[in-house]
Structure 1
Amino acid sequence: MSTDKASKAEGRVLLPSTIIPSRYDIKLTPDLTAFTFQGEVSIQLDTSADLNCKEITMHAKELCFISASFTADGKTVEAEQINDNKKATTVTFVFAETVPSSSTIVMNISYIGFLNNQMAGFYRSSYTDIHGNKKIMASTQFESLDARRAFPCWDEPARKAVFGVTLVVPAELDAMTNMPEKCCKSLEGGKLKEITYLDSPKMSSYLLAFCVGEFDYVQAQTDHGVLVKVFTPPGKSEAGMFALECALKSLDAYDDFFGIPYPLPKLDMVAIPEFAAGAMENWGLVTYREVDLLIDPKKASNSQKQRVCTVVTHELAHQWFGNLVTMAWWDDLWLNEGFASWAENWAADQIYPEWTMWDQFTTGHLSYAMKLDSLKSSHPIQVPIRHAEEVEEVFDGISYCKGGSVVRMICAVLGMKAFQTGLGNYMKKFAYGNTETIDLWTAWEETSGMPINEMMSSWTEQMGFPLLKVIGETWEADKVTLELEQSWFLSDGSTPEEEKKWCIPILTVTDDGKQKDMIFMREKTAKIEIPLTSVTSWVKLNAGQEVPMRVLPTETMIERLSEGIRNKTLPVSDRAALVTDGYALVKSGHMPPEDLIKLLSSYINEDAYNVWQGLADVLSGLNTITQDDEGMNSNFKVFARKLVIQLQSVVGWEKRETDGHLTVLLRSIMTGLLAKFCANDESVVQEAKTRFTKFQEDAGDMQNLPSDMRSSVFRIILKNGGEKEWNDVKSYFYTASDQAERKFVLGTLGATNDDKLKNQTLEWAVSGEVKLQDFFYPMGSVVSSKAGAEVAWKFYQANFEKIKTMIGKGNPSLMDACIVNCAGGFCTSEKADEIEAFFKANPLPSNGRKIAQCVEGMRTNSKFFDKLKASELSNDSFWKSL
Structure 2
Amino acid sequence: MAADRDILPDSVKPSNYAISLYDLEYGGDFSYQGTVKIALEILKTTKKIVLNSLQLKIHSAELKTEHTKTEQTVKASDISYDERFQRATFTFDDDLPIVSSAELVVKFQGTINNLMAGFYRSRYKPTVPATASVARDDEFHYMFSTQFESSDARRAFPCFDEPNLKATFDFEIEIPKDQVALSNMPMKDVRKADKSGLQIVSFDRTPVMSTYLLAWAVGDFEYVEDFTRRKYNGKSLPVRVYTTKGLKEQGRFALEVCHQIVDYFSEIFRVDYPLPKVDLIAVHEFSHGAMENWGLITYRTTAVLFDEAKSDQKYRNRVAYVVSHELAHQWFGNLVTMDWWSELWLNEGFATWVGWLAVDHLYPEWDVWAQFVTESLQTGFGLDSLRNSHPIEVPVRDALEVDQIFDHISYLKGSSVIRMLSAHLTVDTFLLGVSKYLQKHQYGNATTNDLWSALSEASGKDVNTFMDPWIRKIGFPVVTIAEEPGQISVKQSRFLLTGDVKPDEDETTWWIPLNLKTGADTSSVKLGALTTKEHTIREIDDTFYKLNADQVGFYRVNYPPPRLVKLGATRNQLSTQDKIGLVADAAALAISGEGTTTGVLSLVEGFGDETNLLVWTQIVNALGHIRSVFSEDEQVSNALKKFTLKLVTPATEQLGWDFPAGEDFLRSQLRALLIAQAGLVGHESVVSEAQKRFKLFTSGEDTSAVHPSLRSAIFRIAVTYGGPEAYEAVKEEFKTTTSLDGKEIALLALGRVQTPELAKDFIEFNFSDAVAIQDKHSGASSLAANAKTRLTQWEYIKHNWEDVVYKQLSGNMVVLERYVRLTLNKFASKEVQKDIENFFERKDNRGYDRALGVVKDTVEGNARYKERDLEVVREWLGAKGYL
- TM-score, length-normalised on structure 1? 0.95
**Contact 1:507-1:515 within 8 A present in 2 as well:** no
Q: Partner amino acid for 2:693?
A: R
Distance 1:881 1:788, change over 3 A: closer
**Aligned mate of 1:23, from 9, 16, 41:** 16
Displacement of 1:213 in angstroms is: 0.8
Q: Which runs of 5+ in 1 are unaligned?
A: 1-7, 476-480
**Cross-structure match for 1:315:** 326
SS of the residue aligned with 1:244?
helix
**Aligned mate of 1:453, from 432, 455, 464:** 464
Query: What aligned pairs does 1:297-316 form with structure 2 within 5 A after superposition?
Result: 297-316=308-327
Answer yes or no: is 1:90 the counterpart of 2:100. Answer: no
Displacement of 1:78 in angstroms is: 1.4
Supply the distance in 2 between the matched residues of 1:739 and 1:799 (Cα, whole angstroms).
Answer: 30
**Cross-structure match for 1:786:** 787
Distance 1:9 1:549, change over 3 A: farther
**Cross-structure match for 1:138:** 144
Supply the distance in 2 between the matched residues of 1:143 and 1:269 (Cα, whole angstroms).
Answer: 17
**Cross-structure match for 2:59:** 66
Query: What aligned pairs does 1:381-420 form with structure 2 within 5 A after superposition?
Result: 381-420=392-431
Supply the distance in 1 between the matched residues of 2:589 and 2:332 (Cα, whole angstroms).
Answer: 36
Displacement of 1:689 in angstroms is: 1.7
**Contact 2:177-2:197 within 8 A present in 1 as well:** yes
Answer yes or no: is 1:36 the counterpart of 2:45. Answer: no
**Contact 1:632-1:874 within 8 A present in 2 as well:** no
**Aligned mate of 1:485, from 482, 487, 491:** 491
- Say what the alpha-carbon RMSD is for the aligned residues: 1.9
Range with greater deviation from structure 2 (725-734 or 143-152): 725-734
Q: Partner amino acid for 1:39?
A: G
**Aligned mate of 2:695, from 693, 696, 707:** 693
Q: Partner amino acid for 1:496?
A: K
SS of the residue aligned with 2:847?
helix
Query: What aligned pairs does 1:143-292 form with structure 2 within 5 A after superposition?
Result: 143-188=149-194, 190-224=196-230, 225-292=236-303
Range with greater deviation from structure 2 (836-845 or 580-589): 836-845
**Cross-structure match for 2:815:** 814
SS of the residue aligned with 2:18?
strand
**Cross-structure match for 2:565:** 559
Q: Which structure 1 residue ranges, 4+ long, deviate > 4 Å from structure 2?
A: 697-702
SS of the residue aligned with 2:631?
helix
Q: Partner amino acid for 1:443?
A: A
SS of the residue aligned with 1:218?
strand
SS of the residue aligned with 2:395?
coil
**Contact 1:640-1:677 within 8 A present in 2 as well:** yes
Displacement of 1:416 in angstroms is: 1.4
Displacement of 1:11 in angstroms is: 2.3
Query: What aligned pairs does 1:710-729 form with structure 2 within 5 A after superposition?
Result: 710-729=711-730
**Cross-structure match for 2:850:** 849
**Cross-structure match for 2:663:** 659
**Cross-structure match for 1:529:** 538
Identity rate of aligned residues, in percent? 34
1:802-835 per-position Cα deviation (integer Å, ceiling 9, x unaligned): 3345435533231123223432331111111111
**Cross-structure match for 2:355:** 344
Supply the distance in 2 between the matched residues of 1:354 and 1:295 (Cα, whole angstroms).
Answer: 20
SS of the residue aligned with 1:773?
helix
**Aligned mate of 1:617, from 611, 615, 621:** 621
**Contact 2:65-2:73 within 8 A present in 1 as well:** yes
SS of the residue aligned with 1:14?
coil
**Cross-structure match for 2:511:** 503
Q: Partner amino acid for 2:511?
A: C
Answer yes or no: is 1:570 the counterpart of 2:574. Answer: yes
**Contact 1:509-1:539 within 8 A present in 2 as well:** yes
1:681-739 per-position Cα deviation (integer Å, ceiling 9, x unaligned): 4312211122113323559855x422221122112211222322222111112221133
Displacement of 1:556 in angstroms is: 4.2
Q: Partner amino acid for 1:619?
A: L
Distance 1:320 1:521, change over 3 A: same
Displacement of 1:839 in angstroms is: 1.3
**Aligned mate of 1:597, from 597, 601, 612:** 601
**Cross-structure match for 1:13:** 6
Supply the distance in 2 between the matched residues of 1:791 and 1:131 (Cα, whole angstroms).
Answer: 42
Supply the distance in 1 between the matched residues of 2:451 and 2:292 (Cα, whole angstroms).
Answer: 21
**Cross-structure match for 2:133:** none
Q: Which runs of 5+ in 2 are unaligned?
A: 131-135, 231-235
Supply the distance in 1 between the matched residues of 2:805 and 2:601 (Cα, whole angstroms).
Answer: 43
**Cross-structure match for 1:334:** 345
**Cross-structure match for 2:525:** 516
SS of the residue aligned with 1:265?
coil
SS of the residue aligned with 1:774?
helix
**Cross-structure match for 1:861:** 862
SS of the residue aligned with 1:484?
strand
Supply the distance in 2 between the matched residues of 1:381 and 1:700 (Cα, whole angstroms).
Answer: 51
Q: Partner amino acid for 2:12?
A: I
**Cross-structure match for 2:739:** 738
Distance 1:686 1:592, change over 3 A: closer
**Contact 2:174-2:200 within 8 A present in 1 as well:** yes
**Cross-structure match for 1:467:** 478
**Aligned mate of 1:356, from 357, 367, 375:** 367
**Contact 1:12-1:386 within 8 A present in 2 as well:** yes
Range with greater deviation from structure 2 (496-505 or 158-167): 496-505
**Contact 2:219-2:244 within 8 A present in 1 as well:** no
**Contact 2:400-2:846 within 8 A present in 1 as well:** no
Query: What aligned pairs does 1:750-765 form with structure 2 within 5 A after superposition?
Result: 750-765=751-766
Query: What aligned pairs does 1:860-879 form with structure 2 within 5 A after superposition?
Result: 860-871=861-872, 873-874=874-875, 876-879=877-880
Supply the distance in 2 between the matched residues of 1:359 and 1:87 (Cα, whole angstroms).
Answer: 45
**Cross-structure match for 1:641:** 645
Q: Partner amino acid for 2:624?
A: S
Distance 1:269 1:658, change over 3 A: closer
Distance 1:493 1:112, change over 3 A: same
- TM-score, length-normalised on structure 2? 0.95
Q: Partner amino acid for 1:19?
A: V
Supply the distance in 1 between the matched residues of 2:684 and 2:648 (Cα, whole angstroms).
Answer: 15
Distance 1:460 1:803, change over 3 A: farther
Supply the distance in 2 between the matched residues of 1:522 and 1:367 (Cα, whole angstroms).
Answer: 24
Displacement of 1:530 in angstroms is: 4.9
**Contact 2:809-2:816 within 8 A present in 1 as well:** no
Displacement of 1:80 in angstroms is: 1.1
**Contact 2:675-2:686 within 8 A present in 1 as well:** no
Distance 1:512 1:845, change over 3 A: same
